[in-house]
């Protein structure tokens, strides 16, 4: 079993990896919000944390027992008593697997993960460094024949977007040139921080009106995952 293999997957399971070379682009935020959304909607959900920082599992540790269960897996752990395959074993009824990946993944590790994944979500922040990094990462995905032949659907999310900034137009131009679909635009908001502090996702905040706008921005992400859409939605970043 390889480092990024996902074991004992049977039946109709969707495997979603949140992936980018660069750290700090919101991979853990997206991973935890995806996991909480599916769990809250009755899906048997697992959250695999490959990131040595363990942000996703820290979030999970804050989640109360009264919340819908999410099965957490520390994919960076090493134990002399438990084998890696045992640590990585998923409940047999698992329906969604969310994979929070570490920064810097490339080469063989990237290829291995993609082979085990149905959907790849790439978050991009509005900064010169993030745009440059994402361009290189996406170029590697496009050039690697094994990645292209894997069948994984790839989509991009513009994350923490602030409309009235100088970098906004650079992000706009970059996203419009991509060969992968832009599936959502998430604005910079404190609601994600408030949810994370409680081990919650944006869809679990109460009252529902508290994060109505944020949940609306998540709708195209859920529709893309549910429908397997491959066409780019008609987003206008100037109205984001």
Provide the 3-class DSSP secondary structure of residue 211.
Answer: helix
Report the CATH number at residue 175. Answer: 3.40.50.300
Q: Is residue 95 part of a domain?
A: yes
**Is the CB of residue 114 less than 8 Å from the CB of residue 33?**
no
Q: Is residue 240 part of a domain?
A: no
Q: Is residue 4 part of a domain?
A: no
Provide the 3-class DSSP secondary structure of residue 99.
Answer: strand
Q: How many domains does the structure of the chain reveal?
A: 1
Query: What is the DSSP-derived secondary structure letter of residue 102?
Result: P
Q: Is residue 2 part of a domain?
A: no
Q: Is residue 3 part of a domain?
A: no
Q: Which two tokens stand for residue 212?
A: 């109505």
What residue numbers bound the domain in which 109 lies?
14-233
Q: Which two tokens stand for residue 53?
A: 């920082």
Q: Is residue 76 part of a domain?
A: yes
Instruction: Judge whether residue 169 has pLDDT over 90.
Output: no
Nearest to residue 49, comparing CAs of 99, 119, 112, 122? Answer: 99
Q: Is residue 7 part of a domain?
A: no
The more confident residue out of 228 and 115 is: 115
Q: pTM value?
A: 0.85
pLDDT at 49: 93
pLDDT in tens, 18-35: 998 888 899 999 999 999
pLDDT in tens, 59-113: 999 998 999 999 999 988 655 544 455 556 788 899 999 999 988 887 777 778 8
Mean pLDDT of the chain: 82
Q: Is residue 111 part of a domain?
A: yes
Instruction: Judge whether residue 231 has pLDDT over 90.
Output: no
């Amino acid at each position: 079993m390889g480092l990024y293999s996902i074991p004992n997957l049977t039946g109709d399971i969707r495997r979603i990896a949140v992936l980018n070379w660069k750290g700090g682009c919101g991979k853990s935020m997206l991973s935890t919000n995806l996991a909480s959304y599916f769990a809250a909607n009755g899906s048997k959900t697992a959250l695999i944390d490959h990131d040595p920082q363990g942000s996703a599992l820290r979030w999970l540790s804050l989640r109360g027992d009264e919340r819908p269960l999410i099965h957490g897996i520390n994919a960076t752990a090493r134990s002399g008593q438990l084998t890696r395959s045992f640590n990585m074993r998923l409940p047999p009824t698992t329906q969604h697997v969310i994979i929070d990946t570490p920064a810097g993944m490339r080469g063989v590790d990237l290829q291995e993960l993609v082979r085990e994944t149905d959907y790849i979500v790439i978050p991009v922040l509005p900064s010169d460094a993030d745009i440059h990094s994402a361009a290189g990462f996406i170029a590697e995905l496009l050039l690697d024949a094994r990645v292209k032949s894997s069948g994984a659907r790839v989509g991009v999310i513009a994350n923490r977007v602030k409309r009235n900034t100088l970098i906004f137009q650079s992000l706009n131009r970059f996203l419009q040139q991509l060969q992968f679909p832009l599936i959502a635009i998430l604005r910079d908001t404190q609601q994600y921080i408030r949810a994370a502090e409680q081990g919650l996702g944006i869809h679990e905040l109460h009252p529902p009106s508290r994060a109505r706008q944020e949940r609306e921005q998540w709708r195209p992400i859920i529709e893309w995952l549910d429908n397997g859409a491959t066409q780019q939605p008609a987003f206008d970043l100037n109205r984001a």
